[in-house]
Structure 1
Amino acid sequence: MASDANNNWHALSADRVLQKLDSTTRGLSTEEAARRYKAFGPNELEEGEKLSKLDILIEQVKNPLIAVLGLAAVISFMADKFIDAAVILAVILINTLLGFFKEYSAEEAILALRSQASAEARVLRDCPETGTCQEMRIKSQEVVVGDIILVEAGAKVPADSRIIEQANLELDESMLTGESVPARKMAEALQEDLITAEMDNIIFAGTVVTQGRCKAVVFATGMDTEMGKIAHQIARTEKAKTPLKRRTLDLSKKLMILALVASSLTLVVGFWRGFELIELFLFTLAMAVSAIPEGLPAAITVALAVGVSRMASRHAIIRKLDAVETLGSITAVCTDKTGTLTTNQMTVQKLFLAGRIVDVSGVGFQPKGDFELDGVPLKASEDKSLSMFLKIASLCNDASLKSHKEEEDRWEILGDPTEGALLVAAAKAGLDKSELEESHPRVDEIPFDPKNRYMSTFHRTGSAELLALLKGAPETILDMCSYVLDRGEVKELDQKRKEEFLKASSQMAAEALRVLALAYVTIKPEEVDEFKNKGPANLIFTGFSGMIDPPRPEAIRSVHLCKRAGIKVTMATGDHKITAQAIARDIGIYEEGSKVLTGSDLDDLSDEELDGLIQDTSVFARVSPKHKHRIVQSLQRKGHIVAMTGDGVNDAPALKAAEIGIAMGITGTDVTKETADMILTDDNFQSIVNAVEEGRVIFENIRKTVKYLISTNAGEILTILVALVFMAINVLIFTPVQILWVNLVTDGLLVVNLAMEPKEEDVMDQPPRNPKENIINMDIVKNVLFVAAFMAAGTLLVFTRELNGGDIHRAQTLGFTTLAMFQIFNALNCRSEDKSVFKIGLFSNKYLIGAIVASIALQLMATTLPFFQMALGTVALSLYDWAIIFAVSSTVFIADELRKLIKGKSLIRI
């Protein structure tokens, strides 16, 4: 039978669940399991409809700018300019292939979900009506609804299942819920209105058992599981179109119009002036090729690739090239808490020892830190209360602390993270668990039970008595205590003092600390059974431990930098509201007056109501995958460009919906990494700030290249049109091949290297760009006209001065060389919008300086070598001619430097 998605399995008794699934505690028969498998399919995630390689390739060539370049290639071919046509086609091919290989891997996200399933499962089948059942091991794909599965510590759950029986069961569900602490499970029925993280009698596919064991009945397999629902959400989530794609589309249309208008105008004016039709037609085609900046896609690709390289060295791997620029546009970061803002390593931060508060330094599992009482160092060897507390913490503990073999400073916990935190605290005081166990061997134990809410271990001490050690819930442990270890002395514990201690426990909990109480008592060996049956009594209370998954120190700085850069930071986590708010306050995300909403709050809000609150909300707690998805969409409806960070499977749909999805490289799941646009190799929130910086640099560099291309093209067009309309001559100012040569020497070399410009100092002091802002703004338009006027005036001056001497070839050579040099000087102008080239460093972009040298060398060859003189129609120029050319063409550089100086932002520095 199929599982009914509307059943609240957690709210039904185990017997009722078995009845509805037509199963028993002894499992299914092989025949029944085979029938269900045939009817409902394997327990695996559907791959979904996958784009073919051809589909992805076609997507790459849909860009209108590629179409413009294709037209330019056709025009060049028609004009018998086969070399230019080949170059343009090569640019199209390279750009398309780069985009194809980057985008293809993104379609593999859904496949990564398959790796989250268990390779095999333990089930009960063909059990006799009486006698002992024998378990079977089958492939997880063969698990069906109604199967009785058995899981224990270390196992991965094969399907969503309702617990029937359990013993000390805990699971790591962080991949689904975002909870940093393992979820403790039970078998009893629960209330109906619960979110996924609160369903304590359900085990979910893909989660891992960290402690205990259980028997459960499967109620959902494959795409019906919580994991399957996430896979379905990823598949139907449309990836947001990035700002770069929107801006490039807009720019492409403008460039197409510019090319058509300029070419048409040239043709009409030339025809009106009476130029020979064939000559004019070839000239117009050459001008059209020049007006279409075929170097732009290559320049954008280079700018993005350089950004990718820089970011890789700063611990951020980009999976999609245009994501680099998009990061520079983000206005909101929606981040998970566990493992992203925090270390994902539970850490003891405070101890309460009979009225004394001891601060514990150090973060994570590395056993380095100190104990301080009122700012004064406290040593366990000199304080009996602290020593006894830490001894209990180490011995009443099933976890183990191991150093990483490859990295001495990297430590890991095997077992429950909470117990691991206690173990690390003891290790900070120099207490080694293995040495303590040698001198105090464990002889018996009482495992933790949710009903009893404590754990107890019994140890030999070398005397006739045993040492019974306990840890558990504060109110439970205190209720069993009659004495307290106060500054090394055992004193009676009255009710008034118990209430004072409980008040201190509540205060620690209000600070988002997870509080455990520790106690001990000495008993005789023959009293162990009575201790177990009747329960502990007359214990000696030693204190509380307060632990938390602490914030990363660098995350605090990163959040501050994000706010300085005008970026809204929002936390969305599966943790409890108090914990989330406390961490957010420590990091700087939460400020007084901002709102904290829970998943249940979101369920009660419409999209319109959420949109009205989203700007003032800094923390979302107890949220599920669908909630994170809604949060991202709400931010987008409010006009934000959203970056979503995460590490668990539960984050994948929201990552895909966001303009930028950011996955954690160390703790992140395969699904998250495949869905994300960027992966942080160090799981460090600081790397996001670095990425934002690089993204802003990339956009500015793209804008600089576009400004250069448009201004040089405008200079060429204005020069040609003025010469055609106002000069009473019967020859063209340039030959068609000279126009193409200038286009090759300047656009082909300089624009790509201009895209490699280093960052400007104040890049992170600027607010995020308006998401609707185009690459070409009004400042660029004004500057283009300013530069174009200088180019046209200077080129025409040199051309007409020589033309008056009667040598048309010398005039054309001087004119087209002057135009080329104008464009070379203009490349220096475009390195910054408002800062002098001497302020940013004349030689700071060595690639551009090299390209300038190469361009000048090529122009010298064009006027010096006989082969080029014959092909281009040029003549040799004297040193005096070159001096004139440099003097005239440098005016565009001098004028722009003066413009920047007038703005008052230029300080000379070479």
Structure 2
Amino acid sequence: MEENTTIESQMQGLSSNEAKQRLLQDGPNVLKKHQTKSVWKMFLDQFKDFMIILLLIAAVISFIVAIYNYFANGRITTANTIVDFVQPFIILIVVVLNSLLGTYQEIKSNQAVTALEKSNELNAKVIRDNQIMIIPSHEVVVGDLLVVEAGDAICADAKIIDSYTFSVVESALTGESQAVYKQALDNSNHHKLALGDRVNMIYSGTYVVSGKAYAVVTATGDKTELGKINSLVNEQEATLSPLQIKLNKLSKIFGISGVVLLFVSMILQIVLTNAFSGIWNKPEVYTNAMVIGISLAVAAIPEGLITFTTVLLAIGVSRMTKENVIIKAFSTVETFGSTNIICSDKTGTLTQNKMSVVEFYDVLKPQSDLENSMALGAFVACCDADVTVNEKNEYIEVGDATETGILRFGIENNNTSQMFFDKYQKLDSLPFDSTRKAMSILVKLNDKEQLIITKGAPDVILAKSINASEHEYQMVEKWSKQAYRVLAVAYKKVSNHSTISIEDENNLTCLGLIALMDPPRENVKQSILEAKQAGVKTIMITGDHLTTAVAIAKNLGIYNVKDVALTGSELATMSDEELREKVKHISVYARVTPTDKLRIVKAWQYHNQVVAMTGDGVNDAPALKAADLGCAMGITGTDVSKQAADVILTDDNFNTIVKGIKSGRETFDRIKSVILNLLVSSVVEIFVMMIGLFLFRFIFKDQISTSEFIILSAAQLLWINLLTHGLPAIALGMTPNDEDVMKRKPFNKYDSIFANGMGKKLMIHSLILTFFSLLSYLIVGLIAKANLIIGEDFVKLTSTACFITLGIGSSINALNLMSKNNIYRCGVTKYKLVYLASLSSFVLILFAAFIPGINTAFGMYDVLNNQYLAVYALVPIVLGFGLLIIEEFKKGIIAYKEIKASFE
């Protein structure tokens, strides 16, 4: 703690050896971060998913059955034995593939964040061995003598021992954007004062805007004020994203269904086998029942769901990285899409964090050109900041934002501080004082006369000016109402002065007024409007004054007539219940504290809103962690805020958030299409297996050997679920959306994934494809029955027919989901990936069904060697297109009605 720290170093600083010892003793000057997981731990964490656990159990049971059958058959390797062992291996491949993808993306995200942190690491100027040296900030130790000046970021807490016109912006800690004057004071009780009142202390996370100071380091790392807030951040619990909620629920539903179906089907299979043959004592009855049960469980579990969702999220992460957004977790992409509240900081996010002159008035010569304006020359002369123009004609700015804005204005009008001081020599200065709200300089006019030039708050300067009129006061009032920052400058001739005092700042002559503002970022107003049209409300939370915040909020379209604006002090008088009740009507918060920001976020979350919080300062970090979507700034953001956030905006731009919302919605739409594509197959497979288990056992009881009867094997189902859906899933995920997703409201975080018509579409598609799959089995079965095919050949032949129809229908279902338009209206160029993927999947189905050896491994009939090839092959293939034909007919009717309605 700073009060217990003994100041051992003087102006000569520590010795290098002493600094090394203290570094070993206290550790590096860094904030404690969350422990990084090892790659192996990341990989193992992927197996915690409920659905993955069930698949592993299914694989183990499949291995047990395969091993039993192998030994029961006298250790003879047959085609059936190979099929038995193929099934569990396919399940394991799916599980491992999903885990590797999840681990890879987590590693890539961590690497991106680490790279960003390294690129933002600071250097520090210290005096050691009586010499100034530059060292990495993490090597700074307690007792080091820091040398800080305008433009420097402060990397440790320190006590000032000497300073010159020194001021610091502490907005990262206090939220106050105005510079605070600091000076060396011998005050042993400074730690008892409020943070903002400790004028003899500087703090890690803040930066210098003017002057120079020497300060002895009193605290580093987690012992700084920054570190205290960091511990507050770590206390906040992370919330589950909407996607995690939906997928967890979906996984449990289908996982539990798989377990239920496993046991129900086993019991029914054993009971039905006994009913038809009275066989109870044959092991084959139980092993076959278990195989059917596993097949049903595999059918119920859409094992491709997590894998392909992960792939689509990875694609979304990649796209958003190109849009200046670093995503830490996959699920954050979808959270963007469900966001309906944005709590945004003003400075640097909504605005450019770059003060610019918008109004200028020369009191003495209103009509004079700016190049020769004495008023403008006086303004630039009173600035301690520095602005230069490099070879690329870019401004290099160091110092207070208000002063750099004035200096830029001077350069643009060929009236610079350098030109002023080429004429007048600077003799002395009085730094800015928040009490008197002014600063002054003394310059040499000639051998006998000097000029005192005073710059400061307009009410103070005008009150001390002998020529101030009502006109100047009215102008100040007008500009202030427009949220401009207004300054005035005045002068007085004196003689025989070599120094200046506060008593000299009177009987002035006002020279001019200047108004500045931090302009909104380009297109930010349009982005706020776009967000509003998309059902997303923007809230401004800032440390600035209420009048300024409201004026800017009005200009940007955030604050409307019926809205409420609150200050932090007003908010402090409200209970949590009152805030929850009124939060929907408040659009601007000014002069707030870190605790206020947390309360605001949680008040919105109480109403089940998905809240995004933007921020760059340390004071933003707790709210960033608590929000559903924490967005830290990559350029101006502190390490604490970046660690707490879910995403990092590398361009610090509000527009990027709105782009992220759009990208998140588009990604979620694609994910829903892929999920629908996968679940249709799973639901159809369950229907086909359950209905077929009862229906065809009765219809074909004379053709089926009850101990070998099965509709579709687990290997066949996995081939359909994974291989034939892999390419279509990725293709759907990379296809542009048809509709403008920003013209609809965000989906509810707590809505079922089957909401908004998805459940209805799932059942319709599933019932249609189930009908055609069962019809294919029935037709081929009746033909085979007429041709006296029985036993294992009959089971394999009908299973092959069902596999072809279901496989083709599932493979080309992506064509139904890629657009709301008919296929003939979907251009090949735009949808080429879906066309190619569906064609590839179609070929894979035929490959498995008709290639000798491959079809045997999958337990299917070699149709090509049968005289009824045309019937056994063409009927299943034609029926496989049934769902696509019906959907195309339906889309055509809808399009016709829309065209007809447009002419009415």
RMSD of the alignment, in Å?
4.3
Letter matched to residue 184 of structure 1: Y
State the Cα deviation string for residues 74-104 of structure 1 (Å, max 9, x = none).
3443445444434433333343344345556
Aligned counterpart, 2:751: 773
Q: For 1:679, what is the secondary structure of its paired residue?
A: strand
**For the Cα contact (< 8 Å) 2:336–2:629, is it kept in 1?**
yes
With over 3 angstroms needed to count, the CA separation of the structure-2 counterparts of 1:820 and 1:102, relative to structure 1, is closer
Q: Does 1:286 align with 2:295?
A: yes
**For the Cα contact (< 8 Å) 2:167–2:180, is it kept in 1?**
yes
Aligned counterpart, 2:80: none
Per-residue deviation at 1:174?
3.2
**For the Cα contact (< 8 Å) 2:147–2:215, is it kept in 1?**
yes
Q: 1-side partners of 2:117 and 2:233: how far apart?
A: 12
**For the Cα contact (< 8 Å) 2:303–2:721, is it kept in 1?**
no
Q: 2-side partners of 1:346 and 1:298: how far apart?
A: 49
Per-residue deviation at 1:430?
3.8
Letter matched to residue 605 of structure 1: M
Aligned counterpart, 1:63: 49
Q: 2-side partners of 1:400 and 1:394: how far apart?
A: 10
Aligned counterpart, 1:340: 349
Per-residue deviation at 1:299?
0.8
> What does 1:246-645 correspond to in 2, within 5 Å?
246-274=245-273, 277=285, 278-354=287-363, 380=370, 387-403=373-389, 408=392, 410-435=394-419, 437-438=421-422, 440-450=423-433, 453-457=437-441, 469-482=453-466, 493=467, 497-520=468-491, 527-529=496-498, 535=504, 539-645=508-614
With over 3 angstroms needed to count, the CA separation of the structure-2 counterparts of 1:801 and 1:533, relative to structure 1, is closer
Q: 1-side partners of 2:346 and 2:43: how far apart?
A: 38
Q: 1-side partners of 2:48 and 2:641: how far apart?
A: 28
With over 3 angstroms needed to count, the CA separation of the structure-2 counterparts of 1:850 and 1:646, relative to structure 1, is same
Q: Which of 161, 164, 168 is 2:165 aligned to?
A: 168
**For the Cα contact (< 8 Å) 2:376–2:512, is it kept in 1?**
no
**For the Cα contact (< 8 Å) 1:316–1:687, is it kept in 2?**
yes
Q: Which of 775, 794, 804 is 1:797 aligned to?
A: 775
Aligned counterpart, 1:813: 800
Q: Does 1:873 align with 2:861?
A: yes
Q: Which of 857, 879, 889 is 1:888 aligned to?
A: 879
Letter matched to residue 816 of structure 2: N
Per-residue deviation at 1:844?
3.0
Per-residue deviation at 1:703?
1.7
Aligned counterpart, 1:15: none
Q: 2-side partners of 1:835 and 1:711: how far apart?
A: 20
Which one is further off, 816-825 or 101-110? Answer: 101-110
Unpaired runs of at least 5, structure 2: 67-82, 277-283, 900-904
Per-residue deviation at 1:225?
3.3
Q: For 2:589, what is the secondary structure of its paired residue?
A: strand
Q: 2-side partners of 1:328 and 1:296: how far apart?
A: 20
Letter matched to residue 800 of structure 2: T
Per-residue deviation at 1:500?
3.6
Which one is further off, 678-687 or 331-340? Answer: 678-687
With over 3 angstroms needed to count, the CA separation of the structure-2 counterparts of 1:879 and 1:43, relative to structure 1, is closer
State the Cα deviation string for residues 93-124 of structure 1 (Å, max 9, x = none).
3433443455567699999699888757569x
Q: 2-side partners of 1:113 and 1:749: how far apart?
A: 38
Q: 1-side partners of 2:305 and 2:59: how far apart?
A: 15
Per-residue deviation at 1:898?
4.3
Letter matched to residue 327 of structure 2: I
Aligned counterpart, 1:681: 650
Q: For 1:61, what is the secondary structure of its paired residue?
A: helix
Per-residue deviation at 1:343?
0.3
**For the Cα contact (< 8 Å) 2:12–2:127, is it kept in 1?**
no
Q: 1-side partners of 2:896 and 2:231: how far apart?
A: 54
Aligned counterpart, 1:363: none
Q: For 1:529, what is the secondary structure of its paired residue?
A: coil
With over 3 angstroms needed to count, the CA separation of the structure-2 counterparts of 1:574 and 1:106, relative to structure 1, is farther
Q: For 2:609, what is the secondary structure of its paired residue?
A: coil
Aligned counterpart, 2:902: none
Q: 1-side partners of 2:503 and 2:125: how far apart?
A: 42
Q: 2-side partners of 1:193 and 1:609: how far apart?
A: 32
Which one is further off, 580-589 or 109-118? Answer: 109-118
State the Cα deviation string for residues 382-405 of structure 1 (Å, max 9, x = none).
xx6xx3333333334333323455
Q: For 1:481, what is the secondary structure of its paired residue?
A: coil
Letter matched to residue 303 of structure 1: L
Q: 2-side partners of 1:684 and 1:234: how far apart?
A: 24
Letter matched to residue 68 of structure 1: L
Which one is further off, 42-51 or 332-341? Answer: 42-51
**For the Cα contact (< 8 Å) 2:105–2:314, is it kept in 1?**
no
**For the Cα contact (< 8 Å) 1:458–1:466, is it kept in 2?**
yes
Letter matched to residue 478 of structure 2: Q
With over 3 angstroms needed to count, the CA separation of the structure-2 counterparts of 1:302 and 1:226, relative to structure 1, is same
Aligned counterpart, 2:280: none
Which one is further off, 87-96 or 822-831? Answer: 87-96
Q: 2-side partners of 1:349 and 1:676: how far apart?
A: 35
**For the Cα contact (< 8 Å) 1:120–1:158, is it kept in 2?**
no
With over 3 angstroms needed to count, the CA separation of the structure-2 counterparts of 1:141 and 1:606, relative to structure 1, is farther
Q: For 1:623, what is the secondary structure of its paired residue?
A: coil
Q: Does 1:237 align with 2:236?
A: yes
Letter matched to residue 624 of structure 2: L
Letter matched to residue 781 of structure 1: G
Letter matched to residue 99 of structure 1: G
Per-residue deviation at 1:521?
5.4
Letter matched to residue 91 of structure 1: V
Q: TM-score, normalised by structure 2?
A: 0.82
Q: 2-side partners of 1:25 and 1:474: how far apart?
A: 43
Letter matched to residue 583 of structure 2: I
Q: 1-side partners of 2:694 and 2:134: how far apart?
A: 88
Per-residue deviation at 1:342?
0.7
Q: 2-side partners of 1:177 and 1:478: how far apart?
A: 31
Q: 1-side partners of 2:634 and 2:506: how far apart?
A: 49
State the Cα deviation string for residues 6-28 of structure 1 (Å, max 9, x = none).
xxxxxxxxxxxxxx989899899
With over 3 angstroms needed to count, the CA separation of the structure-2 counterparts of 1:265 and 1:26, relative to structure 1, is closer
With over 3 angstroms needed to count, the CA separation of the structure-2 counterparts of 1:198 and 1:621, relative to structure 1, is farther
Q: For 2:469, what is the secondary structure of its paired residue?
A: helix
Q: 1-side partners of 2:735 and 2:13: how far apart?
A: 70
Which one is further off, 506-515 or 95-104? Answer: 95-104
**For the Cα contact (< 8 Å) 2:382–2:441, is it kept in 1?**
yes
**For the Cα contact (< 8 Å) 1:518–1:542, is it kept in 2?**
yes
How many residues align? The count is 840
**For the Cα contact (< 8 Å) 1:481–1:538, is it kept in 2?**
yes
Q: For 1:328, what is the secondary structure of its paired residue?
A: helix
Which one is further off, 853-862 or 21-30? Answer: 21-30
Q: 1-side partners of 2:90 and 2:335: how far apart?
A: 29
Q: 2-side partners of 1:653 and 1:394: how far apart?
A: 40
Aligned counterpart, 1:227: 226
**For the Cα contact (< 8 Å) 2:426–2:442, is it kept in 1?**
yes
Per-residue deviation at 1:434?
4.2
**For the Cα contact (< 8 Å) 1:45–1:231, is it kept in 2?**
no
> What does 1:598-747 correspond to in 2, within 5 Å?
598-727=567-696, 728-730=699-701, 731=704, 732=709, 734-736=711-713, 737-747=715-725
Aligned counterpart, 1:788: 766
Q: 1-side partners of 2:387 and 2:548: how far apart?
A: 26
